[in-house]
Amino acid sequence: MASKVTLKRRSHNGPLISLVPMIDVMLILLVFFMVTSTYLNLDMIPAVRQQDQPAATAATPGRTGTAMIRLGADGVPVLRGQPLDAAGLDRALRDLLAGDPLAQVLILPSGSATTQALITVMDVATRAGVQRLRVIRLEARP
Amino acid sequence: MKLRRPAPAQHSETIIALIDVVLFLLIFFMLIGRMDATAPFEVTPPLATTGSDMPAGGATLAIAADGALALDGQALDRAMLDSRLAALLAEDPDLRLRVNAHRAAELRHVLPLVGAAEAMGFRDVVLVVTPADQP
């Protein structure tokens, strides 16, 4: 006479996949991103805009004045032959804009001036309220 | 009198909270970090008070104080730059070019490149600056 054999599945205790390696990997990724990231706070100043095409400026109605700021190699801006500091340039530009709010301001920098000097002058002009600001440069004829 | 051992505490709840926090931090750092290739030389952008927020995207042209060039973190010379920029522009005609010049870089190293990019057809060229407080 055959006896009955009962086989029982062993019940699983706990989750099928262990979470511990996943936590390890996530912690390593977290530490990696925290350590390798450098956070830079950067802004931008447009140098070429889409509407900067020559046709757009030629279409400006009425007569508007133009002032040219020459930027020397030492970083000192010169307006109408007069070297100015930032405050003096700001005053001169505000006087100019008081008479003609759409006056065009051209900046002709020396090639030996630093980028910081140009950005500072552009900054002063923008703060003074200049709407039409352009940077021009001399180019050798080929 | 029978003393019973207390049943082992279930730790699953605390582990789930830990995973939540770690995942949240991980996603936070992945989202707020902008993965930009850094130039192989030191570049400190000039200070400006009137800059506007710079959105992500675009190609970055780094210019060192001595005029050395790098496009998207890769050093290259002037001749190679034109072909690389033309290739990038052919892929995306509206590509923004970010000119990240060192604040002490002389403008003869910077402005001709901006002019060349404009002549090449770039319609959106920006100078990268570091925001400064109002004087």
Cβ contact (<8 Å) for B33 and A39?
yes
Instruction: Identify which of A41, A115, A120 has the shortest CB distance to residue B105.
Output: A115
- Between CA B99 and CA B91 the distance in angstroms is 19
Using 50, 70 and 90 to split pLDDT, how confident is the model at A11? low
Residues in a beta bridge with A104: A66, A132
CA distance A27 to A8: 40
Record: contact B47-A49, CB cut-off 8 A: no
Distance from CA of B3 to the nearest CA of A (A): 25
- CB contact under 8 Å between B103 and A114, yes or no, is yes
A64-135 classified as CATH 3.30.420.270 = yes
With cut-offs at 50, 70 and 90, classify the pLDDT of residue A2.
low
Residues of A in contact with B129 (CB under 8 A): 42-45, 119
Q: Measured between CB atoms, which of B18, B38, B54 is closest to A43? A: B54
Residue A127 tokens, joined: 């703060």
Q: In sequence order, what are the residues at sequence separation of 6 or more whose Cβ sits closer than 8 angstroms to the Cβ of residue A2? A: none
List beta partners, residue A83.
A78
Whether B111 sits inside 8 A of A37 (CB atoms) is no
pLDDT at A26: 82
What would the pLDDT profile of B8-37 be if each residue is shown by its tens digit?
665 556 777 778 888 888 888 777 766 666
Closest of A62, A63, A120 to residue A90, by C-alpha? A120
B54: nearest CB among A42, A49, A123: A42
pLDDT for residue A56: 43
Q: Kindly report, residue by residue over B64-106, the tens digit of the pLDDT.
A: 999 899 998 889 988 889 899 999 999 988 899 999 999 999 9
**Predicted confidence band at A132 (pLDDT cuts at 50, 70, 90)?**
confident
Q: Give the helix/strand (H/E) hosting B85.
A: helix B78-91
Domains and CATH numbers, chain B: 47-131 (3.30.420)
pTM: 0.72
Helix (H, G, I), strand (E, B) or coil at A137: coil
Q: A15-24, B49-58, B101-110 — which one is most confidently predicted on average? A: B101-110
Average pLDDT over residues B42-54: 88
Determine whether the interchain pair B47/A116 forms a contact, defined as Cβ–Cβ distance below 8 Å. Answer: yes
Q: Does B107 contact A123 at a Cβ distance shorter than 8 Å?
A: no
Cα of B15 to nearest chain A Cα, Å: 9
**CA-CA distance, A18 to B105, in Å (whole number)?**
56
Q: Would you say residue A93 has pLDDT above 50?
A: yes
Q: Which helix (H) or strand (E) holds A26?
A: helix A20-36
**With an 8 Å Cβ cutoff, are B52 and A43 in contact?**
yes
